Amino acid sequence: MTIQWFPGHMAKARREVSEKLKFVDIVFELIDARLPLSSRNPMLDQIVQQKPRLILLNKSDLADINQTNQWLNYFRDQGHQVLALTAKDDKSVKQIVPASKKVLAEKIARDKDRGVKPRAIRAMVLGIPNVGKSTLLNHLAGKKIASTGNRPGVTKGQQWLRFGTQLELLDTPGILWPKFEDPAVGKKLALTGAIKDDLLHLDDLALYQLEIFCRYYPEQLKDRYKLTNEDLFLDFPELLMLISEKRGFRDDYERASEMLILELRQGKLGRYTLDRFEELSE
């Protein structure tokens, strides 16, 4: 299963981002804590270049805690300032401004020495679709100022948003890249909702989901669908059929596939991380 999605507004957004970088002090790169590598746009380094950057691992409340801690250390070892947060959580969101000041410490000191009057930090928010950008913006503002939705492609244009006296943000649409070199990246993005479902084969996606959970989170799969240890040794199509029967769907495997994926996205299978740190070398 090959998954690609690069609608026209994304190509336009990429051009606009490049043009407007000169107006910001720092880039907030928002990625999905369940997909710390797969949800990073490989074009971003080329677009952002040497602009200071703060990496935000959003949706950390949905991710495997042990995996998240290892990925945080990985990014820090790469020389990045990075935070794990939940866009709806006050405590984690309040870390953003202090972390930004740490990234910009040299610039702030330089401006102070030159007698430049302090002003709000100007940041650009970048990330793939459905990674939580609009949710973060709304939470910072304490009201709905950006459209949200658990589907990709909600934010279509760019807008400046001011948060108190310390931060101004330029929101941007989610930007994917034209081609996924690794088919597994497309599957992972699809599972977490970064790609529109009408572009997918849900049964193939559900089988991939079962493969991941049988390997890394078997107890969560057993608890949710009342499975035995022996059931987990079935071929994945047979396991999907068994779950379909247990849910009363009989031979409606498409409906069972849709249910599996929906419950994964709703957090009913518990915390999980699809990008495994131990597989980084692969």
CATH 1.50.10.20, applies to 201-279:
no
Q: For residues 28 and 103, give the distance between their C-alpha atoms in angstroms, rounded to a whole number.
A: 11
Q: For residues 43 and 52, give the distance between their C-alpha atoms in angstroms, rounded to a whole number.
A: 16
Residue 42 structure tokens:
């490989």
- Per the annotation, binding residues are 58-61, 130-135, 174
3-state DSSP assignment of residue 58: strand
- Lowest-pLDDT range of 55-59, 124-128, 222-226, 276-280: 124-128
Residue 41 structure tokens:
């746009």
Q: For residue 104, give the nearest of 114, 92, 94, 112 by alpha carbon.
A: 112
Give every CB contact of residue 215 below 8 A, 6+ residues apart in sequence. none
Q: What is the pLDDT of residue 259?
A: 94
Q: pTM of the prediction?
A: 0.85
Beta bridge partners of 161: 169
Q: What is the pLDDT of residue 159?
A: 66
Q: Grade residue 151 by pLDDT with cuts at 50, 70 and 90.
A: very low
Domain boundaries, the chain: 8-171, 201-279
Q: What residue type is assigned to position 93 of the chain?
A: V
Count the residues in the chain. 282
Q: What is the pLDDT of residue 145?
A: 59
Q: For residues 80 and 96, give the distance between their C-alpha atoms in angstroms, rounded to a whole number.
A: 14
Q: For residues 269 and 251, give the distance between their C-alpha atoms in angstroms, rounded to a whole number.
A: 23
**57-102: pLDDT as tens digits:** 999 999 999 999 999 999 999 999 999 999 888 888 889 999 999 9
**Residue of higher predicted confidence among 49 and 146:** 49
Q: What is the DSSP letter of 198?
A: G
Residues 13/172, Cβ–Cβ less than 8 Å: yes
Give every CB contact of residue 65 below 8 A, 6+ residues apart in sequence. 271
Q: Where are the alpha helices (DSSP H) in 94-197?
A: 96-103, 105-113, 133-141, 183-191
Q: Grade residue 276 by pLDDT with cuts at 50, 70 and 90.
A: very high
**4-20: pLDDT as tens digits:** 545 555 566 667 777 78
Q: Grade residue 109 by pLDDT with cuts at 50, 70 and 90.
A: very high
Residues 149/54, Cβ–Cβ less than 8 Å: no
Q: Tell me if domain 8-171 and domain 201-279 are identical in fold.
A: no
Q: What is the pLDDT of residue 215?
A: 96
* Straight-line distance from the first to the last Cα atom of the chain, in angstroms, rounded to the nearest whole number: 20
Q: What is the pLDDT of residue 223?
A: 96
Q: Grade residue 153 by pLDDT with cuts at 50, 70 and 90.
A: very low
Q: Grade residue 143 by pLDDT with cuts at 50, 70 and 90.
A: low
Residue 237 structure tokens:
């199509």
Q: For residues 278 and 69, give the distance between their C-alpha atoms in angstroms, rounded to a whole number.
A: 12
Give every CB contact of residue 228 below 8 A, 6+ residues apart in sequence. 222
Average pLDDT, the chain: 84
Q: For residues 248 and 103, give the distance between their C-alpha atoms in angstroms, rounded to a whole number.
A: 54
**Residue of higher predicted confidence among 158 and 35:** 35
Per-range mean pLDDT, top range of 38-42, 160-164, 173-177 = 38-42
* Mean pLDDT (whole number) for 165-187: 72
Q: What is the pLDDT of residue 69?
A: 97
Q: What is the pLDDT of residue 46?
A: 80
CATH topology for the 8-171 domain: Rossmann fold (3.40.50)
Q: For residues 132 and 27, give the distance between their C-alpha atoms in angstroms, rounded to a whole number.
A: 16
Q: For residue 242, give the nearest of 225, 259, 254, 263 by alpha carbon.
A: 225
Sign (positive or negative) of CA dihedral 33, 158, 51, 142: negative
- Per the annotation, binding residues for GTP are 58-61, 130-135, 174
Chain-centre distance for alpha carbon 240:
27
Q: What is the pLDDT of residue 32?
A: 95
**181-236: pLDDT as tens digits:** 677 888 898 898 877 776 668 899 999 999 999 999 999 999 999 999 999 999 99
Residue written as token pair 């409340």: 61
* Mean pLDDT (whole number) for 260-278: 95
Residues 121/101, Cβ–Cβ less than 8 Å: yes
